[in-house]
């Protein structure tokens, strides 16, 4: 039931409720999960409400009719769910879907396809989706779900109505930045407590913020000082991966600040946030987050650790050249 998301996902709840009550549907929705643990449940609830024939007959929370049952059993012909096949979502998966959907619908007047992990679209499959989105067909609704919106093509994003879920729901409220970072860096209570106790972690966060500050003011010149600002502290793959993640969270918060959304993680560092916000526009910030994300994802593919940070800096500077 949608109601169960009312408090945790207020914005998504309102958008969905509004869409359904006005019966005014976008051709495509892009759900940005922000790692919200119940995101798939929410997506399925949304899909079910779009498809259930009782929605407009005074039973908005049906969950009971033949259609709803079939959807629960993953057996409803007008709802297709696509997951990555191996590392990628493949073009063949999408053309197959298209062929099936070109047949006349059997039940109801809508067809929905859900693409999970849309960031796993490769060049070919992304172009196929783009064609769907450019020439929407009456009654077909796409729901793209992504953990990482920055890996999607701008052209895809711009054709979707974005519903961004609140990933910090519940568990991050009223915590210090260090506690939030500890929660995001560990997956059990013992590690969490050790993370907080270890003074090195606070020190590392300070070093990353100092590095960002120096970089933001001096741009490529920071490359001359990489040893003292970076390499002395971050050497192993795990360390570097973690540090880049902190980098990403920080820039995301700068972006939040810039677009008047609540600061998620770095609430204790509002001066740093403001300073960096003044030095960037939204395009710069989005680009920086994208560069960091992409390079972090390639860490496992034998990336040269010594050159990785240099590469990131150079790529982040592209918009300034
Ligand atoms: Zn129903």
For each of the domains in the chain, give its residue range(s) and CATH number, in order of start.
Answer: 2-164 (3.40.50.300), 177-320 (no CATH)
State in Å: Cα 129 to ligand 1 middle: 29
State in Å: Cα 8 to ligand 1 middle: 24
State in Å: Cα 61 to ligand 1 middle: 7
State in Å: Cα 48 to ligand 1 middle: 7
Contact assessment for residue 270 and residue 304, using Cβ atoms and an 8 Å cutoff: no
Residue carrying the six token digits 């568990």: 171
State in Å: Cα 292 to ligand 1 middle: 43
pLDDT of residue 303: 64
State in Å: Cα 68 to ligand 1 middle: 4
State in Å: Cα 146 to ligand 1 middle: 26
State in Å: Cα 142 to ligand 1 middle: 20
Check whether 24 has a pLDDT greater than 70.
yes
State in Å: Cα 74 to ligand 1 middle: 14
Structure tokens given for 204: 């590392």
Cα 113–Cα 116–Cα 121 angle in degrees, nearest 5: 95
Structure tokens given for 313: 């800096």
Check whether 108 has a pLDDT greater than 80.
no
State in Å: Cα 66 to ligand 1 middle: 7
Stretch among 87-96, 179-188, 300-309 having the lowest mean pLDDT = 300-309
Structure tokens given for 143: 């729901």
Structure tokens given for 251: 């820039």
Q: What share of the chain is helix, strand, coil (3-state, %, to 5)?
A: 60, 10, 35
State in Å: Cα 94 to ligand 1 middle: 27
Contact assessment for residue 220 and residue 314, using Cβ atoms and an 8 Å cutoff: yes
State in Å: Cα 109 to ligand 1 middle: 14
Q: Which residues, in sequence order, are CB contacts of 178 under 8 Å at separation 6+?
A: 196, 201, 202, 205, 268
pLDDT of residue 172: 64
Total-model pTM: 0.63
State in Å: Cα 71 to ligand 1 middle: 9
State in Å: Cα 70 to ligand 1 middle: 9
Three-class SS state of 28: strand
Short-list 83, 99, 104, CA closest to 132:
99
State in Å: Cα 53 to ligand 1 middle: 6
Stretch among 126-135, 154-163, 185-194, 203-212 having the lowest mean pLDDT = 185-194
d(C-alpha 309, C-alpha 223), whole Å: 9
For range 52-81, the mean pLDDT: 86
State in Å: Cα 113 to ligand 1 middle: 18
pLDDT of residue 188: 72
Strand partners, 28: 142
């Amino acid at each position: 039931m949608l109601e169960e998301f009312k408090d945790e996902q207020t914005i998504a709840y309102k958008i969905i409720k509004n869409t359904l009550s006005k019966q005014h549907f976008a051709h495509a929705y892009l759900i940005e999960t922000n790692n919200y643990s119940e995101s798939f449940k929410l997506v399925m609830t949304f899909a079910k409400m779009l498809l259930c024939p009782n929605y407009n007959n005074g039973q908005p929370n049906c969950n009971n009719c033949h259609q709803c049952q079939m959807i629960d059993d993953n057996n409803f012909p007008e709802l297709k769910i696509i997951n990555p096949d191996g590392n990628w979502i493949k073009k063949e998966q999408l053309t197959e879907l298209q062929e099936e959907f070109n047949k006349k619908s059997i039940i109801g007047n809508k067809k929905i396809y859900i693409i999970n992990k849309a960031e796993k679209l490769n060049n070919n499959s992304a172009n196929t989706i783009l064609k769907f989105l450019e020439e929407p067909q009456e009654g077909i609704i796409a729901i793209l779900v992504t953990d990482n919106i920055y890996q999607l093509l701008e052209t895809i994003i711009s054709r979707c109505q974005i519903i961004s879920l609140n990933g910090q729901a519940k568990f991050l409220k009223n915590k210090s930045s260090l506690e939030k970072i500890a929660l995001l860096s560990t997956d059990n209570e013992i590690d969490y407590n050790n993370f907080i106790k270890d003074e090195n972690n606070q020190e590392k966060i300070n070093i990353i913020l100092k590095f960002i500050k120096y970089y933001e003011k001096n741009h490529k010149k920071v490359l001359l000082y990489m040893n003292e600002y970076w390499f002395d502290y971050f050497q192993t793959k795990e360390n570097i991966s973690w540090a880049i993640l902190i980098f990403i969270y920080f820039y995301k918060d700068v972006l939040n600040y810039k677009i008047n959304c609540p600061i998620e993680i770095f609430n204790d560092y509002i001066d740093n946030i403001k300073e960096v916000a003044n030095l960037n526009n939204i395009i710069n910030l989005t680009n920086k987050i994208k560069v960091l994300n992409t390079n972090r994802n390639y860490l496992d593919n034998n990336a040269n650790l010594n050159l990785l940070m240099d590469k990131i800096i150079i790529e982040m500077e592209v918009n300034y050249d």
